[in-house]
Amino acid sequence: MKTLDFARDFASSGAWGKHPILLRNAFLKEAQALKYHSDEAAATWPTWKDVMDLASDDEAEARLITHVTSDENSWSLELGPIEDDDIPNRKSETKWTLVVNDVDRFHPCLSEWIGNVFNMIPQWRRDDGQISISNEGGGIGSHVDDYDVFLIQMSGTRKWDVGKRKISTREEIEGLIPSIDVRILDFWDGEIEKELVESFMLEPGDVLYVPPRFGHRGTALSDGCMTLSVGLRAPSAKELMTKMSDDIVDAIDGKFLDRYTDPALLHKGALQASNALDDNIKHEGKQLIRDAINEMLNDEENFDAFFGKLVTESKRMRFDYPMRLDDLDDECIQDLGVWGNSESAINAVRKGEGVLYAAEGTSWAYSILPDARSDCGDTLCRLFVDGTMRQLTLNKNDTATLKLIRCMVDQRQVNTTFFEKIVSAQFVELLEILVSAGYLYGSNE
């Protein structure tokens, strides 16, 4: 099945956000390439060894989940780095699953593959490419996620039990097995008995889509079981309001600083105040909040900046990534050659001597809105990268720069074709900033 066929088949299924669906042999070509270690495998999926090596890396996010069959209280979690010696041996009755997040950050080939396959979904909605490897019987237990997820079988066979209904957050919290390190639902077996769960057997190349809040449990039916999970993030109202509250702390003007005034306190010469919190008093308090929130929501420029930075910021714990060129030592800069300087990097791309790529694992988006301060029809074009914002003011005739920004975000790269026509100084300056910040890096390949 070609990438476009997968997108069309999934879109036409009507499953999005509604119910699970299994697509057979969606990525059989990639699975076969991985199985036979062909040259093509290097351009798609990481191998078992790649995942094991990454799990031992201090910069990676790995965890080892173990349990003993039929003992729901035996679930245990060990955080990475994970070494080979940490994995239970074959003779042990302990079943295990090694989960590594952000694999696409460390494997550009996987990042590019995910970008191509899931191009029907906005890039800023995509989270990371997570890979789990298990021995027979391994899994991470019955659980529920807040986001859509595509479960792609890379090798081996895995059985997925998926609930036929959504589970509320309250139900999840109340149904967790207490006093263990892993969030496992303890009512799952009861639901199986009540036939409220559907089972799917995934072979290499199959993909299972699970909507948000549908409980699911994967169990490896063979050794050498590898599953790629592509999750899709979406902010909740709680997250939006929490982030908004953080921004409010730094406010120095506007409705957020207004205070309760109690305008009717001494009306008609009253000398004895009532201590009752009547409806009028509470109405004044509510109105204070409404006015402040409405002021923020109605300020399109401010809300655009707030929302764009929120939805693109990293959900992973990263230290010094992406690495700024200014933070590299002289030896690293020298090893990078032309790519160690933003101006020389852009000149190299301009000459067709390489390509600038978006740093893997970073989320990109852009927005376009009218410039409220302009009488000439100018627009503001904002680029959001990894929780940061860069703004360009474009006159109404500068459609070329806007097109270049769109192409850069959509393609996640800048190549020589970007310079075939006149490129504005604003766009070149933007590229220099992105290269210096590490959000774009150069390569001769």
**DSSP secondary structure letters along 149-198:** EEEEEEES-EEEEEEEEE--HHHHHHTBPTTSSS--BSSHHHHHHTT-EE
Q: What is residue 375's predicted lDDT score, i.e. its pLDDT?
A: 74
Please report the sign of the dihedral spanned by the C-alpha atoms of residue 242, residue 144, residue 177, residue 228. Answer: negative
Cα-based distances in Å from 53 to 46, 191, 391: 11, 38, 40
Please report the sign of the dihedral spanned by the C-alpha atoms of residue 38, residue 40, residue 41, residue 42. Answer: positive
Q: What is the DSSP string of 361-374?
A: T--EEEEEEE-TT-
Mean pLDDT, the chain, as a whole number?
90
> What top-level class would CATH report for the domain 3-232?
mainly beta
Q: What is residue 80's predicted lDDT score, i.e. its pLDDT?
A: 84
Report the amino acid identity of residue 368: I
Alpha helices in 315-356 (DSSP H): 330-336, 342-350
Cα-based distances in Å from 280 to 262, 285, 287: 10, 9, 10
Least confident of 51-55, 102-106, 374-378: 374-378
Would you state the structure tokens that stand for residue 231, as one six-digit string? Answer: 């999750």
Length of the chain as a residue count: 445
The whole-angstrom distance between residue 313's C-alpha and the CA centroid of its chain comes to 9
- Using only C-alpha atoms, the chain has a radius of gyration, in whole angstroms, of 26
Cα-based distances in Å from 194 to 144, 190, 201: 19, 6, 20
State whether residue 212 is helix, strand or coil: coil
Match 């449990």 to its residue by tokens: 217
Mean pLDDT (whole number) for 44-68: 93
Cα-based distances in Å from 13 to 7, 25, 203, 234, 253: 10, 16, 20, 21, 50
Q: Which one has a higher pLDDT value, 168 or 316? A: 168
Mean pLDDT (whole number) for 408-414: 95
Neighbours of 23 (CB within 10 A): 20
For residues 45 and 225, the answer to whether their CB atoms sit within 8 Å is no
The whole-angstrom distance between residue 170's C-alpha and the CA centroid of its chain comes to 24
State whether residue 334 is helix, strand or coil: helix
Going by pLDDT thresholds of 50, 70 and 90, the confidence category of residue 397 is: confident
Using a 10 angstrom Cβ sphere, with 0-12 exposed, 13-18 middle and 19 or more buried, the burial of residue 110 is: buried
- Residues of the chain with pLDDT > 70, as a percent, come to 94
Euclidean distance between CA atoms 351 and 344, whole angstroms: 11
Q: Is the pLDDT of residue 385 over 50?
A: yes
- Mutual orientation of helices 237-249 and 300-312 as an angle, nearest 10°? 120
205: nearest Cα among 128, 151, 248: 151
Mean pLDDT (whole number) for 135-159: 95
Euclidean distance between CA atoms 187 and 195, whole angstroms: 13
Q: What is residue 256's predicted lDDT score, i.e. its pLDDT?
A: 86
Q: Is the pLDDT of residue 3 over 60?
A: no
Mean pLDDT (whole number) for 93-107: 94
Q: Which one has a higher pLDDT value, 195 or 100? A: 100
Beta bridge partners of 160: 200, 218
State whether residue 316 is helix, strand or coil: coil
Q: Is the pLDDT of residue 1 over 60?
A: no
- Buried b / exposed e over 242-269, threshold 16 CB at 10 Å, is ebbeeeeeeeeeeebeeeeeeeeeeeee
Beta bridge partners of 22: 208
Domain boundaries of the chain, sorted by first residue: 3-232, 236-262+278-298, 312-443
